[in-house]
């Protein structure tokens, strides 16, 4: 996923933006079949004209909602200052009209609309309660995000993208019972933007006991990436993973060496460490150790760069902050 452009695909379906009220183009007149796309519903982030819930009402009137399989919530009005409470309320109120809904993404908002750490969120658990058949849920933005412990029988993929994931939300997710969950993707972020979880708060993910079906784990975009990798080196959950993602954070030789020196990783299909601060020697060791065993390793540095002050202080940054 990227925050530089809107989602092009979600829940295995191509994204299609539902036309705004003034769109009279042929595209707007000829809508795709309701089950064939992930419907993106959004309004102008800077305009107080049409509200998101009004656009959603138009959508429900224009589309056979009973067949809709995936929804993407884009920007709502005045997104810099306003949370999605009315958006969530509108979705919950429409739950009986959306019996086939299996994928839901909240806040497909790009930086031109609102920086990720400025997106105001709220309590997202009513969405999981309202849609017990949901298989994939994603949310972007950690500012005021509330995610209490929940139980959801069918959720298979959970993604939380932030520049700073509040510790109470981390603890809520960690305490949740998600027996069907196969993929968990958490962007932990930095303390500067509210990402105040520490290694002890991540321990339930390392143990994996509440997530018996987990095979894809991403704990990334973190300034404590070295400590995460050190914990993963002996974490019980790793033995049953096919995909491990520790990318986008401040990962140095210390963390990568600890990971390599721990339990075997040769059973993995994918190890993702892109955006890192690894030296050439450790990067080579990673590739030479794991690629011959069939593991796909992404150890590219991408745009990761260190800044050094005159006093010798070195600054390193996660991929997605503000």
pLDDT > 90? residue 3: no
Strand ranges across the sheet with 157-161: 9-10, 13-17, 38-41, 70-73, 103-106, 136-140, 157-161, 183-189, 216-222, 243-245, 270-272, 296-298
Is residue 259 within 8 A of residue 286, CB to CB? The reply is no
pLDDT > 50? residue 1: no
List, for residues 254-267, the tens digit of each pLDDT value.
Answer: 999 999 999 999 99
List, for residues 107-154, the tens digit of each pLDDT value.
Answer: 999 999 999 999 999 999 999 999 999 999 999 999 999 999 999 999
DSSP letter, residue 192 = G
Check residue 313 and give its pLDDT: 67
| Rounded percentage of the chain residues whose pLDDT exceeds 70 | 95
Give the tokens for residue 299. Answer: 């150890």
List, for residues 160-171, the tens digit of each pLDDT value.
Answer: 999 999 999 999
C-alpha pair distances (Å), 76 with each of 26, 108, 134, 143, 319: 25, 10, 22, 15, 25
List, for residues 83-116, the tens digit of each pLDDT value.
Answer: 999 999 999 999 999 999 999 999 999 999 999 9
Alpha-helix residue ranges (DSSP H) falling in the chain: 26-29, 52-62, 85-93, 125-130, 167-174, 199-207, 225-232, 253-261, 280-290
List, for residues 190-245, the tens digit of each pLDDT value.
Answer: 999 999 999 999 999 999 999 999 999 999 999 999 999 999 999 999 999 999 99
Check residue 5 and give its pLDDT: 87
Query: What average pLDDT score do residues 59-63 get?
Result: 96
pLDDT > 80? residue 43: yes
User: pLDDT averaged over the chain?
Assistant: 94
Residue ranges with strand state E in 42-113 = 70-73, 103-106
pLDDT > 80? residue 26: no
């Amino acid at each position: 996923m990227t925050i530089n452009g809107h989602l092009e695909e979600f829940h295995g379906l191509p994204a299609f933006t539902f036309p705004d009220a003034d769109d009279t183009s042929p595209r707007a007149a000829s809508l795709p079949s309701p089950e064939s796309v992930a419907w993106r519903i959004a309004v102008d982030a800077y305009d107080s004209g049409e509200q998101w819930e009004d656009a959603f009402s138009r959508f429900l009137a224009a589309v056979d909602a009973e067949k809709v399989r995936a929804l993407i919530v884009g920007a709502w009005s005045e997104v810099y200052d306003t949370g999605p409470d009315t958006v969530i309320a509108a979705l919950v109120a429409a739950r009986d009209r959306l019996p086939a809904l299996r994928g839901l993404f909240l806040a497909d908002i790009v930086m031109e609309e609102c920086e990720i750490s400025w997106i105001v969120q709220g309590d997202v658990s009513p969405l999981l309660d309202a849609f017990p058949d949901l298989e994939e849920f994603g949310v972007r933005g950690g500012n005021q995000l509330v995610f209490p412990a929940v139980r959801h029988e069918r959720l298979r993929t959970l993604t939380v993208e932030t520049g700073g994931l509040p510790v109470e939300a981390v603890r809520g997710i960690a305490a949740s019972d998600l027996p069907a969950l196969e993929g968990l993707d958490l962007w932990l972020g930095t303390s500067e933007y509210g990402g105040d979880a520490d290694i002890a708060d991540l321990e339930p993910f390392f143990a994996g006991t509440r997530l018996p079906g987990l095979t894809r784990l991403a704990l990334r975009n973190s300034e404590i990436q070295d400590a995460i990798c050190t914990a993963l080196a002996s974490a019980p959950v790793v033995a049953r993973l096919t995909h491990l993602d520790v990318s986008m954070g401040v990962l140095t030789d210390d963390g990568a060496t600890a990971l390599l020196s721990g339990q075997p990783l040769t059973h993995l299909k994918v190890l993702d460490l892109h955006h890192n601060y690894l030296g050439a020697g450790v990067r080579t060791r990673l590739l030479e150790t794991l690629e011959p065993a069939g593991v796909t390793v992404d150890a590219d540095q991408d745009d990761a760069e260190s800044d050094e002050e005159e006093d010798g202080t070195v600054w390193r940054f996660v991929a997605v902050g503000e």
